[in-house]
Copies of this chain bind each other. A is one copy, B any other.
């Protein structure tokens, strides 16, 4: 089945979504059934506007740069689609002789991918999903491309901040991490604790109802003992009634905007304990940091792109590429196909076995699971003021 191939990006970017694009392009080049490899410029909105780039027109050196380019080099979108939009996309694919459509995105995009697959069922068009999310919340797959790098960023950054804070022990440091509903990224801060660096004293996950009194008494006792405290907190912390611990500050149409969790916790410490506190919020920097890109994550993202390309060529459609873990030490992973309808709009939270009894940290089971994904040891620090 000779035809063109189109890659579409959806949702918020990661540090390796362009590596998957790279994997698709290089795999497609090796295959004669594929005519041109296109990228939709600006996600599904780009498809509907018929804005495509033909990668055969791009110098090879620029294609290589994809592996070190954060965000998405072809742009993405988050516009909701109507049923008519799916039909329009099908006609656009036919017009451009596009027979292979690879959708790279998170839960929202896998939903789009599944709907497109249904709309294309009677057509000569194959639709395959490539998972991508820093949040690691896609079902069935062991983990998602994008997560390992976000995890490495958090682990390395918390190690660095902790080293900074302990060198002049005068304050409580709150580090706010991304991941509004699932705590995977926040949990990765536990990896900061190594023989060569110190980790967080407490980790607060969005899966666990936040207890303000316990937080304050914990911080007080850590501070009394050490003269400082390192706290890592998810941006999405919630009270027992599932409402955010921070107040809404504004509404624009359907979207509500909340204050920053890190700043809120620092203020709690200041006002209730009278202890110096400050918060850091790397935010988007954490999903765009190429220097903290995990080599394992990058390689797996490339493989996922290549595997999606091969799956479509083999006649598969309505599947998403997933990872199955064979072993954590040594790390062994194999690629599998996941029926797209099984992942559509499921959100995968941290399982109980990964969260400690107290709900303020993670288990060894989690760190064993997470460690291979961040791609090698963190930097080693010297520390003499023991």
B292/A291 in contact, CB under 8 A: yes
B168/A62 in contact, CB under 8 A: no
Q: Once the chains are docked, how many angstroms separate the CA of A169 from the CA of B71?
A: 12
A284/B73 in contact, CB under 8 A: no
**A381 sits at the interface (CB 8 A):** yes
What is the CB-to-nearest-CB distance from A176 to chain B, in angstroms, rounded to a whole number?
9
A13/B53 in contact, CB under 8 A: no
B156/A291 in contact, CB under 8 A: yes
B163/A288 in contact, CB under 8 A: yes
A41-82 with Cβ < 8 A to chain B? 41-43, 46, 53, 58, 62-63, 65-66, 68-78
B292/A379 in contact, CB under 8 A: no
**A278 sits at the interface (CB 8 A):** yes
B259/A263 in contact, CB under 8 A: yes
Q: Once the chains are docked, how many angstroms separate the CA of A69 from the CA of B385?
A: 13
Q: Once the chains are docked, how many angstroms separate the CA of A371 from the CA of B164?
A: 26
- List residues of chain B with CB within 8 A of the CB of A288: 160-161, 163-164
Q: 15 A-B contacts, Cβ less than 8 Å apart?
A: A11-B168, A58-B384, A65-B381, A70-B160, A71-B164, A73-B382, A73-B384, A75-B166, A160-B290, A161-B284, A161-B285, A257-B270, A263-B263, A280-B281, A290-B379
A residues neighboring B (CB under 8 Å): 11-13, 18, 39, 41-43, 46, 53, 58, 62-63, 65-66, 68-78, 156-157, 160-161, 163-170, 173, 196, 249-250, 252, 255, 257, 259-260, 263, 267, 270-271, 274-276, 278-285, 287-292, 379-385
